[in-house]
Amino acid sequence: IAESLELTKTKLEQAMTLLHKTVTVRDALNQALDEELERDERVFLLGEEVAQYDGAYKISRGLWKKYGDKRIIDTPISEMGFTGIAVGAAMAGLRPVCEFMTFNFSMQAIDQVINSAAKTCYMSAGSISVPIVFRGPNGASAGVAAQHSQCFAAWYAHCPGLKVVSPWSSEDAKGLLKASIRDDNPVVMLENELLYGVPFEMSEEAQSKDFVVPIGKAKIERQGTQVTLVSHSRPVGHCLEAAAVLAKEGVECEVINLRTIRPMDIEAIEASVVKTNHLVTVEGGWPQFGVGAEVCARIMEGPAFNYLDAPAVRVTGADVPMPYAKILEDNCIPQVKDIIFAVKKTLNI
């Protein structure tokens, strides 16, 4: 009996491990690419170091060996050139995934992203679709200074014709990348370098090859009743940390992970604000014309405005080019203490 009980216990533990497997964001992205390359032969990946080196951040580890030179393509250091190749391939019926080593380098190719990819469907009266994914790390990393630290969420979300997604967890990363590859429109996928090595629990459903996260749908990461925290990418984790600290002081925060920046799920934010009557937005990018500014404007223009008991508050990156010195860098990026301060300010406590 003892032996069979032990066996049952082991089986249960194995089943529970399978149900909630811990996967890093890096591995989740790798799984998504592998599954979509296998599912559709029109999908291919191109970018700097993606093939023989397994990717600058090892996102494409093992894919070149598995799919070969025609599907996993190393490019020269020429963003404008290889982005143009990718956009042309999409117009011709393929489904490219164009990796930028960092989104700061996408500025070299922004004409291709905006003028060629985003506008062609409209300019051709819908006869030419451009099914392409532009992906790579976005926003501040660590110690890489002003030219390698900016967030492009507001830049790209400003442009009609693009969809813009920004994952936080491994589930977000896998589901959004698969949805982006399958979408017939150009999608900008803004990942975060500091999240690549972070492990998250993944449900059994998310481990399936059919799993996708629908573009345009936010997720409530924590239920709350007193204040709504709206965020995307790495700051979602900071919001959850702040919410845990504030819960000990009796303040219940609702944390919304936007997941998609364009089209924005404003209905989810409105429903939460109607319930909590307070709003704080949190992002790593600059304040002026940022994602938080858009959320605040949309709430002000919509039905949820009448439910606000205090002005909405934005927590953002500092309005300066990112300094190199670590202590200055820390003061330029929203920290948990800044979120707690903003929540207390809006609740007047």
What span, in angstroms and rounded, lies between the C-alpha atoms of 193 and 232?
A: 14
**Torsion angle of alpha carbons 243, 247, 251, 252, nearest 10°?**
70
Asked if 253 and 239 touch (Cβ cutoff 8 Å), the reply is: yes
CB atoms within 10 A of CB 143: 12
Closest CA to 316 of 300, 301, 294, 344: 294
CA distance from start to end of the chain: 59
Residue holding tokens 């956009």?
87
Which residues form the catalytic set? 79, 148
